[in-house]
Structure 1
Amino acid sequence: MQRRHDIDALRALAFALVIVYHVGMYYVEGWGWHLKSPHAAAWVQAPMRALNLWRMDLVFLVSGIALALMWRGGSRWALLRQRSGRLLLPLAFGMAVVVPWQPYAQGVANGLVEPGFGAFLLRYYTGGPWPAGAFDGAHVGVTWNHLWYLPYLWLYTVLFVLALPVLESAAGRRLRAAFTGLRGARLLLPALPLMAYSLLLWPHFPPTHDLVGDAWLHAVYGTLFLYGWFIGLHAGLWAELRHRRWPASVLALGLLALYLPLRGAAPEGIAALGLRLLADLYLWTAILAVLGWAHHALNHPWRWLGWANESVYPWYLLHQTLIIAAAVALAPLALGPVLEPLALLLATVGGCWILTAGVRRSNVLRPLFGLKRRAPLPRPSPATPADPAASSA
């Protein structure tokens, strides 16, 4: 099967967008995050909201595509074991080693944790207790912060592996065929379940990222994951997405232009629910546009793809801790609202680049960052007297 370079590139770019978004979270005024810059500004809300409405939805859809490509009709339990190892081991390592600096920095900034990272770790590894509001997740004692994506993806993977007999049944194949047969305006139909979730679940289950009480996000992300499974490598649907990339882009931008000023008016009640439905339609049209443009522009064997495919997972694990560490280090320099964000982004990218280079070279670290171990290089066989090369040396 020919490799789809656009899907590889889209996965890497989707996670790069997550990194840029988290840098922006340090600067957006009025939104809660672990730390806040003194240069936070309200105008940053508009571009951040334009991304926030679909960035993680795209990540879960691409994850569904990836699972569909991994499934070759073999043992579903082998598939589950493989995915569990590459999701749960990095989650455990990340929570134990990569993430703790984040709650420490937040707790110190909030004045609820005493400076001293070593003493913090001793207390953190035993579950606290912590003062209320010391850091996100203090009521639990520990946190996974930005790594919430991993347990969510693992949960959806488990559910889909269990559901494979249904998905591969005649009824499941008919449902998939109905999805991949969507053309023209009917491509908007997959937005309807998302809108139904907003009507039924969104008012009652605000996002928590705690895995347990996140019914609305589970419905949305699980459905996008299913859509990715349906899409897979279906040539006809991808051709249609490419063909409709311009109409999808225009519609998405039009919906965004309508959404942002209405959102700025802070609607309540029925108006807020109506705005949420508008956001769902924008979400789906934005994803249609992204998929269409990716297939049009990115389906090439880019030289950077091999490096990106191995680097995206470590970058994801490392980036938010590096953002927060760099933010703390840069704050005393008072670089201002232009130089500081640039320095923060460069420090994050540079840190990810350097640390990932070390991770990729280590067979001990690679599994901890979601990478397969490298096969050892074959040793040259010792020369024997019968070896012509040896006798002529």
Structure 2
Amino acid sequence: MNQGDFVKEQQKERFHALDNLRVLAFGVLILYHIGMFYVLDWGWHIKSDTQFGWLQDVMLLTNQWRMSLLFLISAMVLGVLLKRYPQWTVVRERTRRLLIPLLFGMVVIVAPQVFIEGTVNEIFDVSFFQFYGQYVNPVTTWLPEHQSAIGLLTWNHLWFLPYLFCYSIIIAICYPLLARLASAWPASLDKPHFFMTLIIGLTMVVWLALRQDYPTTHDLVNDWYSHAKYFLVMLTGFIIVSRPVIWSQLMTHRRVLLIVAMVMYAVIIAYRHDAFGSLSEDEQNSPRFLLIVATVVVTNHWCWLGAILGYGKKYLHYRGALTRYLNTAILPYYLLHQTLIVVCAYWLMPLALPVWIEFALILSFTALGCAAGYELVRRVSWLRPCFGLRQKASGQASQIDRAETVKAIAKGENSA
């Protein structure tokens, strides 16, 4: 095998691992959102009458890194596309595949969530159609305390799309500069202990400087801690795909990363259960304590991401038919899943079923609803752009669309 073939083989392996990791990441997201219905004390759109405190410990396992993983994978896909296609072609594709589904999702898909949340929490008592007329009216005077700059319209779980769009556009526009910086990246920083120390240190600065003053809001405008955190994750993904040796190093050291991640998670759980004794408010706000917390939380965050990438490269480099199917279906699944969860949970609440039966029904309804929704969408030409799918080719396809039929990496655009 010559050098060119070797590089192509390495690229193919990486891309297949990303496809599989993406599917697993969205599967975790669906389970997490079902868990939000049952977890004690954590606010959500609607809550079960039966809630579990122990579920917090389980959900904290992924809570620290699940969305970062999606941003990381998206950035790696973006980095490869920018190497292959003109940056403005990529900008156009990202705009089409992210903004159109976002607008459609806000107007159509999210509306039942908002209606059910308002009904259950006794914010209003009207029919869905009365509510919807006000929901899509940007100058409505109804429920002013619940409005934003665009009225009652909201993106709820779809916040990932506008954030990803903004970060992607910035990276695409700055690609020539970023590519030069990646080329000038010191080879010594490719070593995992240096690389992880660098990104952990930078994230700790973000955590300490912004987290308390700018708590997460998902409103895009004032969410500065989230922006700094996730944009740093995006830049890290871009560097990893630009410096393939880093991913190889993460694979080599995946066991160490997993062990450190598990230890940090155990420390977090132990602290939550007062294993280290109770601390006064002054002690909890002291610079020393905040530095310790930042070290544990951020190390936990990045070691899980590093371990996942490492194990993904080692064991998920195959290309299966199910993965090919689900990678195309991921964005429709993402758009639909939370509304299906909320609707099904709302229907089942009056029945007071045993929790395990209710959970199984919600999970089944969500999975089947996503599958049925995707199968409908892919067959209706005018719906396809609303869910981020390409129009069926008629005549000459665009350069990037043509390539997507034969190159596994371009399928990643459907998941962004």
Among residues 205, 212, 222, which one is paired with 2:231 in the alignment?
A: 222
Larger deviation, residues 268-277 vs 64-73: 268-277
Answer whether contact 2:137 2:151 (CA < 8 A) is retained.
no
CA–CA distance in 1 between the matches of 2:103 and 2:144? 24
Q: Which of 123, 132, 136 lines up with 2:134 in the alignment?
A: 123
Structure 1, unaligned runs of 5 or more = 379-393
| Residue 332 (structure 1) aligned with residue 350 (structure 2) | yes
CA offsets 1:191-233 (integer angstroms, 9 cap, x no match): 1111110111111100000001111110110010011111116
* SS of structure 2 residue aligned to 1:35: coil
Distance in 2 between residues matched to 1:36 and 1:138, nearest whole Å:
27
Counterpart position of 1:157: 168
Deviation at 1:124, TM superposition (A): 0.8
The one of 164, 172, 183 aligned to 1:173: 183
Cα pair distance change 1:123/1:140, threshold 3 Å:
closer
Task: Encode CA deviations 1:223-259: one digit per residue, 9 max, x unaligned.
Answer: 1001111111644222211111111111100111111
Matched residue SS, 1:58? helix
Q: Shift of residue 278 of structure 1?
A: 1.2
* Identical columns (%): 34
The code of the aligned residue for 1:33 comes to W
- Tell me which residue corresponds to 1:85: 96
Q: Distance in 1 between matches of 2:93 and 2:150?
A: 33
Amino acid in structure 1 at the alignment position of 2:53? A
Q: Aligned letter for 1:292?
A: G
Contact 2:98/2:161 (8 A) holds in 1: yes
Match of 1:341 in 2: 359
2:134–2:152 contact (8 Å) kept in structure 1: no
Match of 1:60 in 2: 71
Q: Is the 8 A contact 2:182 2:242 kept in 1?
A: no
The SS at the match of 2:47 is: coil
CA distance in 2, matches of 1:28, 1:368: 32
8 Å CA contact 2:348, 2:358 repeated in 1: yes
Give 1:272 shift.
Answer: 5.0
Q: Which amino acid aligns with 1:313?
A: L
Query: Does the CA contact (< 8 Å) of 1:198 and 1:277 recur in 2?
Result: no
| In 2, Cα distance between equivalents of 1:176 and 1:370 | 38
For the 8 Å contact 1:245–1:292, the answer to whether it is kept is yes
Determine whether 1:358 maps to 2:376.
Answer: yes
1:186-335 paired onto structure 2 within 5 Å: 186-232=195-241, 234-265=243-274, 268-270=284-286, 271=289, 274-335=292-353
Distance in 1 (alpha carbons) for counterparts of 2:253 and 2:268: 22
- Which residue identity is paired with 1:156? Y
Task: Tell me if 1:373 matches 2:395.
Answer: no
- Per the TM alignment, residue 263 of structure 1 is displaced from its structure 2 partner at its CA by 3.1
Cα distance in structure 1, aligned partners of 2:241 and 2:156: 30
User: Which residue type is aligned with residue 200 of structure 1?
Assistant: A
CA contact (8 A) 1:207 1:216 kept: yes
Who is 1:386 aligned against? none
Alignment CA distance shift 1:113-1:273 (3 Å): farther
Please name the residue that 1:21 is paired with: 32
- Whole-angstrom CA distance in 2 between matches of 1:121 and 1:176: 55
Question: Displacement of 1:176 after TM fit?
Answer: 7.5
Which range moved further: 67-76 or 284-293? Answer: 67-76
Deviations 1:289-318 (A, max 9, x none): 111111111111222111011111100000
Aligned to 1:97: 108
Is this contact kept in 2: 1:58–1:287, CA < 8 A? yes
Q: CA offsets, 1:86-134, max 9 Å, x none? A: 1100000000110001110000001112231111101111144444776
Alignment pair present for 1:42 and 2:60: no
1:183 CA displacement: 3.1
Q: Check the 8 A contact 2:341/2:362 in 1, yes or no.
A: yes
SS at match of 1:299: coil
> Does the aligned pair in 2 maintain the 1:131–1:138 contact within 8 Å?
no
For residues 150-190 of structure 1, give each alpha carbon's deviation from its aligned partner in whole angstroms, at most 9, with x where no partner exists.
00001101111221121123x442137565x2234653431
* Bigger relative contact order, structure 1 or 2 (CA pairs below 8 A, ≥6 apart): 2
2:16 is the counterpart of 1:5: yes
- Higher helix fraction (1 or 2): 2
Q: In the superposition, relative to structure 1, how do residues 368 and 243 fare at CA in structure 2: closer, same or farther (>3 Å)?
A: same
User: Please, which moves more after superposition, 125-134 or 273-282?
Assistant: 125-134
Residue type of the alignment partner of 1:239: S
Distance 1:191 1:370, change over 3 A: same
For residues 292 and 380 of structure 2, the distance between their equivalents in structure 1, rounded to whole angstroms, comes to 51
Task: Give the direction of change, closer, same or farther, for the CA distance of 1:156–1:354 in structure 2 (3 Å limit).
Answer: same
Instruction: Find the residue that maps to 1:29 and give its secondary structure.
Output: coil
Q: Secondary structure, in 3 states, of the residue corresponding to 1:81?
A: helix
Query: Over residues 35-93 of structure 1, what are the superposed CA-to-partner deviations in whole Å (9 max), with x where a residue is unaligned?
Result: 00011111110111121100001111111001011113542122111111111000000
Contact 1:188-1:285 at 8 Å conserved across structures: no
